[in-house]
Amino acid sequence: AQSVTQPDIHITVSEGASLELRCNYSYGATPYLFWYVQSPGQGLQLLLKYFSGDTLVQGIKGFEAEFKRSQSSFNLRKPSVHWSDAAEYFCAVGPHNAGGTSYGKLTFGQGTILTVHP
Tell me which of 42, 55, 80, 115 binds another protein, using CB under 8 A. Answer: 42
Q: One-letter amino acid identity for 85?
A: D
Q: How far apart are alpha carbons 79 and 4 in whole angstroms?
A: 24
Q: How far apart are alpha carbons 26 and 2 in whole angstroms?
A: 5
Cβ-contact 88, 112 below 8 angstroms = yes
**Binding of residue 28 to another protein (CB under 8 A):** no
Which of 84, 79, 85, 49 minimizes the C-alpha distance to 67?
49
Tell me which of 25, 81, 111, 116 binds another protein, using CB under 8 A. Answer: 111
**Least distance in Å: CB of 111 to another protein?**
6
Tell me which of 34, 35, 63, 67 binds another protein, using CB under 8 A. Answer: 34
Interface contacts to another protein, rule CB under 8 A = 32, 34, 36, 42-46, 49, 51, 90, 92, 94, 98, 103-106, 108-111
